[in-house]
Amino acid sequence: MTVRALILTGHGINCAREMAQGFGLAGAESLVCHLNDLSEVALDDYQILVLPGGFSFGDHLGSGRALAMRLRRAPLGQTIERFVAEGKLVWGVCNGFQTLVQMGLLPAGTTLAPNASGRFECRWVRLKANPASPCVFTRGMDVLELPVRHGEGQLVGEPSAALVPLQYCDSQGPTQSYPENPNGSVLAGAALCNETGRVFGLMPHPEAFLRSTQHPEWTRHKDLASRFGTAFPSEGSGLAFFRNAVEAAREIGFCASV
C-alpha cells in the first residue's frame, strides 16, 4: 500500500523539496502543490498534509496567519477538518507549525510568540522526546539534534505536558535555560500535538537532517565512531519523523494500492 503526502509550496514556503525528499526516503509518494493549485487537487487522495517551513506571505499580519486564513476558507477549511476527523496526518514545520496554531488545529490556549531572546535563532539544538506523548511522529525517539531557524517560536500558554512531544534539553534533561532552550518556550516545548497525536507541529527542521553528513560536526562523529569501533550511521535523525509518519498513515487503511 502506498502512502501519499501532499506538501504545500508557494508564497514564501521554502522547504517543500526537502520534505518531499524525506518522504521519498521513507517509502512514500508526495506531491509538491502550489497554494494556487490546491483547488485542482483532491485532498482525499492523500493521507498526510504537510505545511513546510519558510515565511509564508512574508509573515504579514503575523507568522503563519495569512496562510491560516487562506486554508480555513471554505470549502478547503471543511475538507481539512474532515481530513483530521478521519485520522489522517497533518504536519507543520516551523512556519507550518505557526500556521497550525493559527488554524486552531492544535490545543486551544497555546500560541507561539517572539523568541524571549528578542532575536532570530539559527543553530542546532538538542531535543528529548516525551515518552508520555501520544504523538505518532516521535515514536521510538529519545534524544536527538536538529537545527532551528526562527524568530517567533516561543510556546506560551498552558499546554498539557503530554501534548508536548519534544522538549529542548541539555545534558540533564528538559531545560528553560538559554541558549539550550532557544526561545524560552514553556515546558521547554519544541513541538505540540493534538490529543490524537496525528496533528503535529514543531519548530526544529527534521527535513534539514536526513543524512548524517548534514550535521555540522559529522566528521568528528565519524572519527569517534571509528575510534570506538561503532558504525557511523548514514541517516540523520530527522528521517525518523518521516518513517514514523508513513507508518502511522498506513495504520488508517486509506492508502492507495499499487
Q: Tell the burial category of 238 from Cβ atoms under 10 Å away from its Cβ (0-12, 13-18, 19+).
A: buried
Per-residue burial over 160-176, b if 16 or more Cβ lie within 10 Å, else e, is eeebbbbbbbeeeebbe
Longest dimension (CA), the chain: 59
Say how far apart CA 204 and CA 128 lie, in whole Å.
12
Q: What is the mean pLDDT of each run of 10 residues along the chain (258 residues)?
A: 95 96 98 95 97 92 91 91 97 98 93 96 98 98 98 96 98 97 98 98 98 96 95 96 98 65
Say how far apart CA 226 and CA 249 lie, in whole Å.
37
Taking only the tens place, the pLDDT of each residue in 107-128 is: 988 999 999 999 999 999 999 9
Of residues 185, 55, 49, the one with CA closest to residue 125:
185
Say how far apart CA 192 and CA 189 lie, in whole Å.
7
Confidence at residue 256, expressed as pLDDT on a 0 to 100 scale: 56
- The residue with cell 527534521 is 206
Confidence at residue 60, expressed as pLDDT on a 0 to 100 scale: 82
Confidence at residue 75, expressed as pLDDT on a 0 to 100 scale: 87
Check if the beta carbon of residue 106 is closer than 8 Å to that of residue 192.
yes
Sheet with 143-150, side-by-side order of all strands:
143-150, 121-129, 166-170, 173-174
Say how far apart CA 237 and CA 206 lie, in whole Å.
7
pTM of the model: 0.95
For the record, the C-alpha cell of 230 comes out as 561503532
Q: Tell the burial category of 25 from Cβ atoms under 10 Å away from its Cβ (0-12, 13-18, 19+).
A: middle
Taking only the tens place, the pLDDT of each residue in 25-52 is: 999 999 999 999 999 999 999 999 999 9
Count of CB atoms within 10 A of residue 123's CB? 10
Say how far apart CA 3 and CA 10 lie, in whole Å.
23
Domains and CATH numbers, the chain: 4-210+236-251 (3.40.50.880)
Active-site residue list: 94, 205, 207
Of residues 196, 192, 125, the one with CA closest to residue 164:
192
Confidence at residue 255, expressed as pLDDT on a 0 to 100 scale: 60
Confidence at residue 258, expressed as pLDDT on a 0 to 100 scale: 47
How far from the centroid of its chain's Cα atoms is residue 48's Cα? 12
Confidence at residue 23, expressed as pLDDT on a 0 to 100 scale: 99
Confidence at residue 114, expressed as pLDDT on a 0 to 100 scale: 96
